[in-house]
Structure 1
């Protein structure tokens, strides 16, 4: 049986055969055990050369240009002018439920006999104040509660999968390896692994080229939601991430340039998602089923 050799930068040599798919095991080892971005990149590059990872780094070149809101609307982004406005849907629903429920229970408790009819409604009514106090002192705790509560919305889990799958897919198409991901409520994320970019970010030396690539990945989740829903819910974290990248770049860009970068990144990411709809949907299904990173990559390649 003919065998082809995959040689990684650390000198480790592995073999694959098209029938046995041992090369898949090689990639699994690189991703899950070594967590070495250079090794993962090299493995994926070689898998692309042998015809397996055809979509890996298939869109490596991105170049920013002036972008208008009209272009976002033409692409299919709904309410493009409001994309950067943080959604308060989940927050409002949570607080309304807390206030409404405690108010209703307070009225019922007021019917209790004697002093119970005074103290119990008072205690129940104070719950709303406690919730607001917690939000002021420890916003993270309140946000965790809101995230958990958001699961009552029928579209919430699907939104999470669509949003995170977009980050995953665009990172893969652009050539940024994925280390891990999660769709768990309150812990939603997709982690990239790229040692070179990490060093540039930490040192504040991101150049325009790398900033553009990271911006597209950062805005991919927002773009995916904007293509599907009238209102985007998960944009706050994406915008915060993009601002962090902007702050760590040189030369610094103006406010107008930042706004244009955001629009362009949404347009570019949204275009990739729209043009690779079948890949995005296959990845959503895989991630919703808690597939491994490798299985997610397989889902992308099989859907291509």
Structure 2
């Protein structure tokens, strides 16, 4: 999940305390009731669509607050208050997390599969090429064998390029696309429930993200002034993708970016947390996010279905609100 907040460029998130905005006037509310919409009789989503297209997080929140007032966006910011507490691995297991003790260990499945495939394929082709007549039987195996060295060199000089290649290769895993959709939908849903505006998302290989922007939080992150409440909310959204995978699969493979993002938030908070506090925050955030996803399983699946069809952000929000 990408949280386009401050300088963060990977999957991301937000903290307790609801976000409050002035109530719209009676006249404005009446206009919202009168307008026609496919969402529901008397509900107009054009203001929300316009705010999202302009990437205006404040306008998106105001639009959703207004929709909530008239009784449509009932799930928007329905879980605004979060508070960290001591959490054990046993609680994660009880919730249904598979291999809870290994959730925070970065997965090397995709990397290992890619490298083994490259080395195995080039080795096999090298042996076959060795049967060629004359000098071809010497030079061709040599050239094929050097492919593995080139791959390692690219990984050292340009890790991003190698990661893109690994990402493309990983698409051959039968569960790859479903994992991505489940992961990003979890970030989307949890952010929505906690009151963070979503401005976009992507499920494309190498560009998987949910785009969240909050100007107030951006300033706090840039200045390194995230307080505990904001950090808690951001932590929950950050761990939502990891939690979604942990509830479904024996091994989580998309947690590296989530953990990296959470660490950046922790580094931008005050007061600084000890290593023990950081570990507990991670466990608690996974537990809280996992609980939200488990309690809203039908909604999560409806959102996954919408995102897999490349629905717009507004259509995804409609899927959340219409799911029963």
2:219 corresponds to: 199
Deviations 1:84-126 (A, max 9, x none): 1110110110001000100111011111111000000000000
| 5+ long unaligned stretches in structure 1 | 8-12
**In structure 2, what is the Cα distance between the partners aligned to 1:239 and 1:58?**
25
TM value normalised by structure 1:
0.94
2:76 maps to which of 52, 56, 66: 56
TM value normalised by structure 2:
0.89
**In structure 2, what is the Cα distance between the partners aligned to 1:19 and 1:294?**
16
2:34 corresponds to: 17
Change (3 A) 1:264 1:130: same
Structure 2 counterparts to residues 121-200 of structure 1, below 5 A: 121-200=141-220
Segments ≥4 residues shifted beyond 3 Å = 4-7, 13-16, 18-22
**In structure 1, what is the Cα distance between the partners aligned to 2:303 and 2:270?**
34
SS of 1:179's partner is: strand
**In structure 1, what is the Cα distance between the partners aligned to 2:183 and 2:219?**
27
- Check whether the contact 1:162–1:221 (CA below 8 A) recurs between aligned residues: yes
- Check whether the contact 1:6–1:43 (CA below 8 A) recurs between aligned residues: no
2:301 maps to which of 268, 281, 290: 281
Count of residue pairs brought into register by the alignment: 295
CA RMSD of aligned residues (A): 1.4
2:255 corresponds to: 235
Deviations 1:105-163 (A, max 9, x none): 10111111110000000000000011011111111111110000000100000000000
**In structure 2, what is the Cα distance between the partners aligned to 1:20 and 1:296?**
15
1:71 maps to which of 70, 91, 103: 91
1:31 corresponds to: 52
**In structure 2, what is the Cα distance between the partners aligned to 1:5 and 1:130?**
67
- Check whether the contact 1:206–1:250 (CA below 8 A) recurs between aligned residues: yes
State the shift of 1:17 in Å.
Answer: 2.8
**In structure 2, what is the Cα distance between the partners aligned to 1:287 and 1:14?**
30
**In structure 2, what is the Cα distance between the partners aligned to 1:92 and 1:17?**
58
- Check whether the contact 1:58–1:174 (CA below 8 A) recurs between aligned residues: yes
Residue 81, structure 1, aligned to residue 101, structure 2: yes
Residue 92, structure 1, aligned to residue 112, structure 2: yes
- Check whether the contact 2:119–2:148 (CA below 8 A) recurs between aligned residues: yes
| 5+ long unaligned stretches in structure 2 | 1-25
- Check whether the contact 1:5–1:16 (CA below 8 A) recurs between aligned residues: no
Structure 2 counterparts to residues 188-267 of structure 1, below 5 A: 188-267=208-287
